[in-house]
Amino acid sequence: MQTSRMGAAKPVMMTIRLFIAALTAVVLAACSQTQQEVNVLQPEKPVPPVRNKGEGKPVRPAKPRTTPTRAPSVTVAAPRPFVPRKPGHRVSHVNVPGKYVAVTFDDGPNSVYTPQVLDIFKRHGARATFFVLGENAARNKSILARAAAEGHEIANHTSSHIKMTSKSRQAVAREIERTSEIIKSATGFYPTTMRPPYGATNPPLVEMMYNDYGMYSILWDIDTRDWQHPGVSTVVQRAVGKAQPGSIILLHDIHASTLSAVEEIVVGLQARGFKLVTVSQLIEMGRRAAGVTEPEVPAAPAAGTPPAVAAPAPEGGAAPEGESAAEGAAVPAAEPVPAGAGESVLGGSSGEVAPSPVEPAPEPVL
Ligand SMILES: [Zn+2]
């Protein structure tokens, strides 16, 4: 009986063992599945900060390109007379296949001089570019409206002539946006070009101007230094005598002496066969010309296109002060173009502009 009882209990024990074995297998399988899921998720875990081998400090993640607290860009809906192919340009000269130059006036508009400048340009069928200060533009919107209606370009020169390289990005943004809004309200268009006061800019600012506002940073290759009042004949000689195809000529429409030279400059340039166009028109010509010769770069223009025109050497001796001197010094004739800097489709440069002395305060508006 004992044997038979033992024999009867065996199947029961086997069943229990099998059950335990099966249960164990299920539990192990479940554990394995869980482990697999964890492994799958692991790659998405936050990666610990990369450490700088030299200093042992965590490398800070890249900053967002835009400042979160900044108001929406004023140029979100800005009209675009042209679409730059290469961002981040600053332009001091444009390689164009023809005798075109851009005459530019900074620091206005001036209620007395600017309308007379417009009269002269209208009389001779010429176009100019006005890099206006927001503070002056706010007081002379009708002048801006007239200038735009007559085909001139209205461009941004900050609101209060700040040295952008000495200000925070937020301060720069405020100055630029304020001025662009005034220009928009006066002309119906946001500016697509700007000129840094004193010529003081740098690659991050140039990039900011383009990325945030769609504006080229415009310098010049001919500095008349009209603000030094060297005399009408000297200003005329500098502007007319040095002009080359694609030149950008710097003047200020806030000086009586400059006004006295404007008509001779216009007539003199036209007598040399130059057509006076806006900066944006000049850039557009350069882009079209470059498009024909792609993938050529300015340093090696393709056959059939005029060679790049070197900027004239700065006049002897460094000027002691002033925007012109500072800006002129910032655009040396032999300015090196970094390889692969994307230059030159337009002939500009992406190099940093050297800091400059402070420009004397503009003459009082008469
Ligand atoms: Zn200026």
Cα angle for residues 350, 356, 357 (degrees, 5° grid): 170
Considering the candidates 93, 152, 161, 252, report the single residue annotated as catalytic: 252
Lowest mean pLDDT among 81-90, 136-145, 165-174: 81-90
243, 101 in Cβ contact below 8 A?
A: yes
Q: Is 253 a catalytic residue?
A: no
Lowest mean pLDDT among 1-15, 90-104, 139-153: 1-15
**What is the tens place of the pLDDT at every residue in 320-353?**
334 543 443 333 322 322 322 223 335 443 333 3
49, 155 in Cβ contact below 8 A?
A: no
Work out the number of other CB atoms within 10 angstroms of the CB of residue 186: 22
User: Can you tell me the distance from the alpha carbon of 227 to that of 137, in angstroms, rounded to the nearest whole number?
Assistant: 20
**Residue whose C-alpha is closest to residue 360's, from 224, 217, 249, 255:** 255
Does the structure show a pLDDT above 60 at 303?
Answer: no
Ligand 1 mean position, distance from CA 323 (Å): 6
The mean pLDDT of the chain is 70
Ligand 1 mean position, distance from CA 267 (Å): 25
Residue scoring higher pLDDT (69 or 145): 145
**Residue whose C-alpha is closest to residue 129's, from 107, 160, 162, 99:** 107
Ligand 1 mean position, distance from CA 11 (Å): 103
Considering the candidates 106, 221, 223, 253, report the single residue annotated as catalytic: 106
**Residue whose C-alpha is closest to residue 203's, from 217, 191, 192:** 217
**What is the tens place of the pLDDT at every residue in 213-270?**
999 999 999 999 999 999 999 999 999 999 999 999 999 999 999 999 999 999 999 9
Ligand 1 mean position, distance from CA 287 (Å): 27
pLDDT value, residue 170 = 97
Whether the full predicted model's pTM is greater than 0.75, yes or no, is no
Q: How many CA atoms lie within 13 Å of 134's alpha carbon, on the beta-carbon side?
A: 23
**What is the tens place of the pLDDT at every residue in 116-141?**
999 999 999 999 999 999 999 999 99
pLDDT value, residue 9 = 52
User: Can you tell me the distance from the alpha carbon of 130 to that of 111, in angstroms, rounded to the nearest whole number?
Assistant: 13
User: Can you tell me the distance from the alpha carbon of 21 to that of 19, in angstroms, rounded to the nearest whole number?
Assistant: 5
Ligand 1 mean position, distance from CA 19 (Å): 91
* Protein fold of 90-289: TIM Barrel (3.20.20)
